[in-house]
């Protein structure tokens, strides 16, 4: 399977260079493309700083930062139409700069078949509908109900809908090709639309194993979460929790979110080595 990485980032270019170095070290044959999601005034600097480590830096102009955050799937669609269609690949791995993977893409996503979508924290919506912000409270709940109504009426949708985290998605080329030409309403958000339209288009959904679910306990949130702090950023995990996990032969190898540069060689040297 030929894999490529779509690396999305907002700023903090030193941290981004560090993450790209880690991805490349573990996946030397995977091409890495970029989506810059920061302010347009910083686009030139982003391209100048990362041009030597990314194949391309795409920017979805004309939309607000909030719109791009809620509609990551539509940004990926736009990237695919403008850049991705010309590329040779089987699977696209959508990796945000605050996602840290300490194993190769082949190892981490070994259970995701060539024609399947591998989504993070894949969860039936009916199990979290009254707890998940995007389905529990208005105006988001109304948006969600409108999205499902549209799917039923326009696409004859009859399946059980799922939610996921947007980060870490594994997207096969065939799905991107069809999704890029499908009419998709700007209702709800990417974490509800992506699995919904995968089902509508006839693609198998698989949990990629990065997270135990959308809503979990505090032990899981110490390793993987999308909780928001008052300043809008996600609640950062601790380096000591990363070290604890990678020191166990069967420990976790995916962590989110972590914003600081890492000593890559030092941490890779700890893989599977118990702390003394």
Task: Report if residue 55 sits inside a domain.
Answer: yes
Closest C-alpha to 2, from 26, 22, 31 = 31
**What's the total number of domains in the chain?**
1
Cα-to-chain-centroid distance, residue 11: 17
Task: Report if residue 155 sits inside a domain.
Answer: no
pLDDT for res 92:
98
Write out the residue range of the structural domain in which residue 103 sits.
3-122+165-185+192-267
Task: Report if residue 246 sits inside a domain.
Answer: yes
Give the domain CATH number at 175. Answer: 3.90.550
What is the chain's alpha carbon radius of gyration, rounded to the nearest angstrom? Answer: 18
* Residue 210: count of CB within 10 angstroms of its CB: 25
pLDDT in tens, the chain (276 residues): 999 999 999 989 999 999 999 999 999 999 999 999 999 999 999 999 999 999 999 999 999 999 999 999 999 999 999 999 999 999 999 999 999 999 999 999 999 999 999 999 999 999 999 999 999 999 999 999 999 999 999 999 999 999 999 999 999 999 999 999 999 999 999 999 999 999 999 999 999 999 999 998 889 999 998 865 545 556 789 999 999 999 999 999 999 999 999 999 998 888 866 655
pLDDT for res 230:
47
Task: Report if residue 199 sits inside a domain.
Answer: yes
Mean per-residue pLDDT of the chain: 94
Task: Report if residue 17 sits inside a domain.
Answer: yes
Q: Which pTM value belongs to this model?
A: 0.94
């Amino acid at each position: 399977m030929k894999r490529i990485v779509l690396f999305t980032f907002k700023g903090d270019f030193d941290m981004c260079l560090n993450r790209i170095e880690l991805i490349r070290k573990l996946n030397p044959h995977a091409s890495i493309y970029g989506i810059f999601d920061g302010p347009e005034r910083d686009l030139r600097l982003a391209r100048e700083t990362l041009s030597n480590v990314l194949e391309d830096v795409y920017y979805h102009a004309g939309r607000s930062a909030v719109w791009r955050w809620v509609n990551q799937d539509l940004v990926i669609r736009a990237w695919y139409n403008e850049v991705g269609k010309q590329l040779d690949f089987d699977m696209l791995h959508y990796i945000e700069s605050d996602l840290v993977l300490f194993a190769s893409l082949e190892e981490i996503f070994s259970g995701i078949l060539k024609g399947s979508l591998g989504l993070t924290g894949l969860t039936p919506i009916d199990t979290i509908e009254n707890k998940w912000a995007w389905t529990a409270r208005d105006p988001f709940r109304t948006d969600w109900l409108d999205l499902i109504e549209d799917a039923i009426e326009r696409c004859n949708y009859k399946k059980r809908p799922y939610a996921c985290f947007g980060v870490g998605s594994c997207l096969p080329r065939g799905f991107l090709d069809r999704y890029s030409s499908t009419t998709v309403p700007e209702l709800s958000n990417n974490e509800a639309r992506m699995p919904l339209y995968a089902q509508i288009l006839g693609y198998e959904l698989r949990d990629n194993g990065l997270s135990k679910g959308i809503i979990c306990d505090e032990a899981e949130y110490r390793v993987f979460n999308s909780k928001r702090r008052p300043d809008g950023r996600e609640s950062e995990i601790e380096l000591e929790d990363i070290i604890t996990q990678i020191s166990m032969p069967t420990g976790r190898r995916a962590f989110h979110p972590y914003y600081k540069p890492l000593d890559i060689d030092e941490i890779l040297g700890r893989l599977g080595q118990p702390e003394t």
